[in-house]
Amino acid sequence: MGQLLDGQLLADLRTGKLKESVNKLKAGGIIPCFCVINIGNDPSSQIYLKTKKRKADEIGIVQKVYQLPENETQADLLALIDRLNADQKVDGIMIQLPAPKQINLNQALERIDPEKDVDCLTPSNVGRLWRGDHFVEPATAHGILALLDHYQLNLQGQNVVIIGRSSIVGKPLAALMLERDATVSILHAKTQNLAAYTKRADILVSAAGQAGMITAKLVKKDAIVIDVGINRQNGKTVGDVDFDAVRQKAKYLTPVPGGIGPLTVESLMEQVVNLTRRKNGR
């Protein structure tokens, strides 16, 4: 039976260390300030905002939420980003996704000062990520690497298959894993014969958002399986992985909940603290 990779445990450990870093900054008169722009009333976003706020409070980061109406204009959004960019007290900025359809998201993301780009989504930071000299890392990808490192699971030469090609999970994770000398394939909804790839994966990461999609048949024996998916099924939160069946075959796997989710929130706060340190030359 596969060993659990306990994301919650690691997130708690890292939170403790992060608190110490923030206390040191505070002793020098610096309080990290993180601004989240939320446009509209997406119910999942409201939950994510609360989760972030709890974590920020726990660590000692000031989190400000800028709640904008569902019909917010592009011009007003850009004006807010300009104000936050110019505000010396602000260390990190992110736009909570999804944004309403009238918003040109790429244009808004491009407007964020790369030095305050907590999600690593500005073009220059995405470029730095692929060039391998980044100063900020997307939270989910950062959390996954932290988990593999914690359990001393080496990526060098490993055959990694990532399901999902989003800008926030699949693509940045591929960049960071390539940097660690893994051989990476990115699969997506139009991939033909998914099983041909997944069955050869030493490390299989699923970020498709499809409950139960990863059956035991798709998994190589003794693989490491990372479940990023968060889905609601029969009133419960489940991942993409058919957990009980896959556990019989994998060597290691992450649970949902308690796997990548808590690490993502914690990693996001790490990015805020890193950007604060960088801004202040610490």
What stretch of H or E contains 17? Answer: helix 7-27
Minimum CB separation of residue 265 from ligand NAD in Å reads: 7
**Nearer Cβ to ligand NAD, position 80 or 238?**
238
Instruction: Let me know if 192 is a catalytic residue.
Output: no
| Sheet architecture: strand order including 62-68 | 62-68, 33-39, 92-95
CB of 125 to ligand NAD, least distance (A): 18
The rounded distance, in Å, linking the Cα atoms of 162 and 201 is 9
The residues that bridge with 117 in the sheet, in sequence order, are 93
Could you give the angle at which helices 170-179 and 139-150 cross, rounded to 10 degrees? 40
242 catalytically annotated: no
What is the SS3 assignment for 84?
A: helix
**For residues 35 and 163, which CB has a smaller minimum distance to ligand NAD in the complex?**
163
Q: How far is the CB of 133 from ligand NAD (least distance, A)?
A: 24
Query: Which parts of this chain interact with ligand NAD (CB under 6 A)?
Result: 140, 163-166, 168-170, 187-189, 191, 194, 207-210, 213, 228-231, 260-261, 264
Shortest reach from residue 78's CB to ligand NAD, in Å: 24
Q: Is 96 a catalytic residue?
A: yes
Our CB check for ligand NAD shows the closer of 90 and 205 to be 205
Let me know: does 228 contact 140? Beta carbons within 8 Å.
yes
In the sheet that holds 203-206, the strands lie side by side as: 3-4, 252-253, 224-227, 203-206, 159-163, 183-187
Q: Of 80 and 109, which has the nearer Cβ to ligand NAD?
A: 109
Is the CB of 60 or the CB of 209 nearer to ligand NAD? 209
Minimum Å gap between C-beta 263 and ligand NAD is: 7
Cβ pair 144, 137 in contact under 8 A: no
Cα Rg, the chain, nearest whole Å: 19
Which entry of 63, 96, 158, 271 is annotated as an active-site residue?
A: 96
Which residue among 6, 52, 202, 242 is the active-site one?
A: 52
**Which among 119, 202, 227, 240 is annotated as catalytic?**
119
Task: Report, as residue numbers or ranges, the catalytic residues.
Answer: 52, 96, 119
